[in-house]
Amino acid sequence: MTLISNDPSWWPLIEFDRVESYFAVASTVAVIYDWALTFEQEIELVWKRRWSLMSVLYLGLRYGGILFSVIDVPASITTLSVTDAVSIVFDFEVMWIFTIVNIILGVIMIARLHAMYQRSRKMLIFLVVFFLAVTITSVIITVIQSSHSWDDK
């Protein structure tokens, strides 16, 4: 039997969760609205041009972000009841999406900085070594976090 507490000490937390769910829905609507407004430009500037690695990374981030925003809404609305299995999926989704997005953004930034520094080999080596150190650490932390999350459920 579910026990419902009427303790006023819970009210700020409940209010925070409610406001957070409003922001999740509002930000998802803003992302989709932005996509709708800029889709025509995207067709001209990305889809009709010769594809490159940067085009693929851009589209992966753009549509992956839209998909993440839509999928994340049920996880952010605390009044929606989800099963433990769905909750585990949401946890893994959030953990790994952030890691993957940071990796893609890192590759884009390395490419841009490498071009800005007149294709300097020294700068490229520095950027790649730094990127690998950060990425390997991030992946290890995410793996540990995922294994603990899986064990808790």
Q: What pLDDT, in 10s, does the model give residues 88-147?
A: 777 778 788 889 999 999 999 999 999 999 999 999 999 999 999 999 999 999 999 888
Of 53, 78, 103, which closes a domain?
A: 78
Q: How far apart are the first and last CA of the chain?
A: 21
Shared-domain flag, residues 74 and 87: no
Shared-domain flag, residues 107 and 133: yes
Both structure tokens of 64: 């992956």
Shared-domain flag, residues 140 and 93: yes
What pLDDT does residue 148 have? Answer: 80
Domain assignment present for 151: yes
Shared-domain flag, residues 43 and 73: yes
| Integer Cα distance of 30 and 66 in angstroms | 10
Domain assignment present for 2: no
| Integer Cα distance of 127 and 114 in angstroms | 8
Cβ neighbours of residue 38 closer than 8 Å, sequence gap 6 or more: none
Query: Where in the sequence is the domain holding 50, given as residue range(s)?
Result: 12-78
- Give the chain's domain count: 2
In the chain, % of residues over pLDDT 70: 88
